[in-house]
Amino acid sequence: MSKPMSKPLLATTVAAACALALPALAHGRQLTLTTQLKNYGGDGAYLAVYLTDSKGAYARTLWVAGGKAKFYKHLADWNRLSVGDTKRLAGVTGASVGAGRTLKVTADLADALIDAGYEIRIDAAAEDMRDSPSDIRVPLTTQNAGKPQTGKQYVQTLTYQLK
Amino acid sequence: MSWKAIHRWLGLAAGCLALVMGTTGVFLAVDPVVQARHASPAPPDLSVATLAERVQRAMPGVEEIRHLPSGAFVAYGFDGEQAQASYVDPQDGRVLANYRPSQLPRWVKNLHRSLLLDDAGRWGVAAIALAMALISFAGLVLLLRRMGGWRHLAGAVRGSLAQRLHVLVGRVVLVVLFLSSVTALYMSATTLGLLELDAGPEPDVVSVAGSQTALPGAQFPVLQGLDARALRKLNFPSAADPEDIWKVTTDRGQGWIDRYSGEILAWQDATIAQRVYDWAVVLHTGESAWPWAIALGLAGASIVLMWLSGLLIWWRARRQAVRIADNSALAQADVLVFVASEDGSTWGFVQALHDALVRCGHRVHTSGLENFQTTPATRHVLVLAATYGEGQAPTHARQALERIARLPRGSAPVAVLGFGDRQFPTFCAFAQAVEQVLRAQGWPMLLPLECIHQQSGQQFALWGEALAQALNEPLVLNYVPRVPPSTTLTLISRQDYPGQTDRPTAILRFQWYRRGWWDRLRGRGLAHFAAGDLVGIVAPGTGVPRYYSLASGTSDGFLEICVRLFQGGVCSTHLYGLQPGDTAEAFIRRNPGFALQGRRQPVVLIGAGTGVAPLAGFIRRNDRRVPMHLYYGGRDPALDFYFEPEIRRWLDEQRLASLQTQFSRVPGGGYVQEALRRDATRLRDLLKRGAIVRVCGSHPMGRDVAKALDEILGTLRLSVQQLKAKGRYAEDLF
């Protein structure tokens, strides 16, 4: 990926709870995702955190770390799948995440999304390093909550809590 | 704002930040050179299909192959859980060394492009790049002015050590710095989102499994027909995802290929913006062209040198600049004084005039003639104009005539005072030109044009009286001569030609105390000089320097002049009376039109009497053995054949190609033009071949030589005037 430097990050980037108007919000649950990056020895990583449904189709973007649209093509899967979602960046962007740092994202999810074959996916890329679309894919289930999962190249662990 | 002001102020201000870009740039230039060592270029007939097959065999989990700008191929894959990236040999797919994108810590690159300040820093760096582009362009304009046009761009550079360093290095790195700043601007524009590189959103395509199974890429005609040298990137479909596709990126664009059918599902051409970007990256970073990276690195390092030498030049000019005391602002001043002077000798008169006017209660604004303008407050305008060389305007006032002609007529009465030397046919030519333009524009005249000969204080005081009458004020001009800072020379030897009792002559050789490099950088001590330049000698007790043509250059290690004693001449009496060990005060004045500047055409040198001195200097330093032909005129070979032993030796050494002499006080004698006429055929041939001519001697001699040459050149439809216009004919007459 060839992009200029991204900001070396705050230890934690807290995403504002996103207020997507999903149905049955009253019965929804709050998802808290904690993503710990590896010490991959490069500039801050661009990350796209999103949901896909049981057929692998794009459902919703939870967070995009990294502000330059020029480089979103390096988050290849997300960029391709979410192409029809004109609001994919609405209120869910922040700075890129430095190597070894942690990204914390919270989102309100409808009950219907949980234990229904949905997957949390993260695409990652950093400058002069290899793009890693779908660096990690974790089924969104109550059973998986609280269990750290490991990613391929950039993600050390991904842990989520459901409240 | 003038190009000079742009170059100076942007250079001083933005230049110190550009030091960061330059220094980090030097380090960044290392990467392309290191990468080039790993480059194993693809053989000409290698297809992407074969390459993919070879690499896949050697590295089964390969996900991506990249073709680096250096020519090397890198394969990305996984070794178990561990991501890996290695150089691969395109000949057999063999895995070579591990790939590292850069040898440098990340912060070097980030400092280079954003000063570690993220987007704000990127804007800042873009501003520095813009400044750098302007500085380089203004530098080119100034360089052309200084050297006298494109044809003389490679000529010898004179001036203080700092000036010479600045020009010598500048004319080499200027283009590189300009290119790297323009490309930096383009790259910044894409990063800051001002320019879109992509062709549009990526197509959402998937491989569709029919009855077939997935094929290896080697069997796809699309990849078989694609030259590996044109490849940028090849992404293999994931083994785990049956819908995944092949993606191939080349110089021309990118395509998505079905993993079952091998058909291209979608293709996007690279945009023009993307292609320009690719070139900009190559030009800016030198990746893919390591010799260029070295050039870029050297240019980066040169910024330090250019900034420091520029700082010294500016500082020195500031210290030497004439600062007029009690200078009022333009808008408030009732008297405006405009000055044109090449070497600053006129400024002493200016200060005297300025002070006298202020004493009479005026608010006076003094400035260069290039700033000519009036305001509603202006009551009187005074112009003091010196003539430079063959009647030209001083360099700083070159555009002054056009400017005055463009401005509307003012109501304030104007007086023009010229400075010059009656010995020259073009006495006060520039002052006359200024006066004519002012008259033509219809400006009222306060006083008729007056011309001061050889900086005469007496004449100046007389003009002051006329001015006092015109203004009806008790104005008194007290002029104290100003002389440039001088250096002490010590006479080391003299060669006497005492035979002519009416005008004994001597060749004087001086030495001077050499300053350390720090003093020379700051322009202290004797300026750099070459044969043909002038040395100004200030006799004790006089404020007015006399000028002598130099028969040697700095590289000779001594300063030599030929001095003839004039009865009653203060300066020649002072010089002629010097004995080895005695000293004289001197400074250098350049004579750019006359000195030879490393040209390769044959040279015709015509000199009479002591006028042979600068010509002897040219021959002495003719190390490249350019054909030089000397025509020498004197009275009697026994009395005034100056430099004779040296000239004979230079003939033997082929520094001098031929010698023709003519003496007037021997039987059958004549003047030097006789020798020219005798040699007309050869002279015609030489001048046809582009020879340049240098004439040094008295004014009458100069006229006669020009006349004789005009006759000789007639059949070639050439004239001395034409040769002068082309810079091929120059005179140093006294």
Domain residue ranges in chain A: 12-162
DSSP-derived 3-state class of residue B478: coil
Partnered with residue A45 across adjacent β-strands are A97
Q: Could you report the per-residue pLDDT of B100-126, keeping only the tens digit for each?
A: 888 788 889 999 999 998 889 999 999
- Where on the phi/psi map is residue B344: left (φ > 0), alpha (ψ -120 to 50), or beta? left
Least confident of A24-28, A90-94, B392-396, B682-686: A24-28
Tokens representing B10 are 């942007």
Mean pLDDT value of segment B684-696: 92
| Closest Cα in chain B, distance from residue A43 (Å) | 7
From the number of C-beta atoms within 10 Å of its C-beta (0-12, 13-18, 19+), residue A92 rates as buried
ipTM for the predicted complex comes to 0.77
Residue B340, Cα to own-chain centre: how many angstroms?
23
Q: How confident is the model at residue A2 (pLDDT cuts 50, 70, 90)?
A: very low
CA angle B18, B20, B25 (to 5 degrees): 95
Residue type, A31: L
Q: What is the CATH number of domain A12-162?
A: 2.60.40
- Count the Cβ atoms, other than its own, within 10 Å of residue A158: 23
From the number of C-beta atoms within 10 Å of its C-beta (0-12, 13-18, 19+), residue A2 rates as exposed
Mean pLDDT value of segment B232-256: 89
Chain-chain contact of A68 with B191 (C-beta, under 8 angstroms): yes
**Which residues of A are less than 8 Å from B242 in CB distance?**
none
Q: How confident is the model at residue B320 (pLDDT cuts 50, 70, 90)?
A: low
The predicted pLDDT at position B391 comes to 66
Q: Is residue B234 pLDDT above 60, yes or no?
A: yes
Mean pLDDT value of segment B127-144: 94
Q: Which residue has the higher pLDDT, B326 or A17?
A: B326
Q: Is A128 on the interface with B (CB under 8 A)?
A: yes
The predicted pLDDT at position A163 comes to 85
Q: Is residue A24 pLDDT above 60, yes or no?
A: no
Calculate the average pLDDT of chain B.
Answer: 88
Q: Could you report the per-residue pLDDT of B407-426, keeping only the tens digit for each?
A: 888 899 999 999 877 655 57
Tokens representing B662 are 């003519």
**How would you classify the pairing of strands B603-608 and B628-634?**
parallel
Residue type, B469: Q
Q: Is residue B723 pLDDT above 70, yes or no?
A: yes
Chain-chain contact of A70 with B197 (C-beta, under 8 angstroms): yes
**Which residues of B are less than 8 Å from A4 in CB distance?**
110, 113-114, 122, 191
**Which residues of A are less than 8 Å from B85 in CB distance?**
130
> Which of A68, A84, A130 minimises the CB distance to B193?
A68
| Closest Cα in chain A, distance from residue B175 (Å) | 26
The predicted pLDDT at position A13 comes to 40
Residue with the two structure tokens 């910024």: B303
Q: Could you report the per-residue pLDDT of B170-180, keeping only the tens digit for each?
A: 999 999 999 99
Q: Could you report the per-residue pLDDT of B332-390, keeping only the tens digit for each?
A: 999 999 998 866 668 888 989 999 999 999 999 998 898 899 999 999 999 999 876 55
The predicted pLDDT at position B69 comes to 87
From the number of C-beta atoms within 10 Å of its C-beta (0-12, 13-18, 19+), residue B155 rates as middle
Q: Is A152 on the interface with B (CB under 8 A)?
A: yes
The predicted pLDDT at position A83 comes to 84
Residue B42, Cα to own-chain centre: how many angstroms?
44
The predicted pLDDT at position B390 comes to 59
* Packing angle of the helix pair B118-147, B106-114 (nearest 10 deg): 70
Chain-chain contact of A69 with B193 (C-beta, under 8 angstroms): yes
Chain-chain contact of B110 with A5 (C-beta, under 8 angstroms): yes
Task: Give the count of Cβ contacts less than 8 A between chain A and B.
Answer: 52
Going along chain B from its start, the domains and CATH numbers come out as: 3-31+106-197+288-316 (no CATH), 48-84+205-270 (no CATH), 335-471 (3.40.50.360), 487-589 (2.40.30.10), 603-733 (3.40.50.80)
The predicted pLDDT at position B254 comes to 92
Q: Is A3 on the interface with B (CB under 8 A)?
A: yes
Query: Taking CA atoms, what residue in A is nearest to B110?
Result: A5
Q: Is residue B203 pLDDT above 90, yes or no?
A: no
> Which of B110, B114, B193 minimises the CB distance to A70?
B193
**Which residues of A are less than 8 Å from B102 in CB distance?**
128
- Count the Cβ atoms, other than its own, within 10 Å of residue B472: 7
- Count the Cβ atoms, other than its own, within 10 Å of residue A15: 21
| Closest Cα in chain B, distance from residue A59 (Å) | 15
Q: Could you report the per-residue pLDDT of B493-548, keeping only the tens digit for each?
A: 999 988 777 789 999 999 987 777 777 776 677 888 899 998 999 888 777 788 89
The predicted pLDDT at position B389 comes to 57
Least confident of A21-35, B453-467, B706-720: A21-35
Q: Is residue A25 pLDDT above 50, yes or no?
A: no
What DSSP letter does each residue of B573-637 carry, written as one string?
A: HHHHT--TT-EEEEEEE--TTTS--S--S-EEEEEEGGGHHHHHHHHHT-TT---EEEEEEES-H
Q: How confident is the model at residue B313 (pLDDT cuts 50, 70, 90)?
A: confident
Query: Taking CA atoms, what residue in B is nearest to A129?
Result: B101
The predicted pLDDT at position A7 comes to 39
Q: Is residue A157 pLDDT above 70, yes or no?
A: yes
| Closest Cα in chain B, distance from residue A16 (Å) | 23
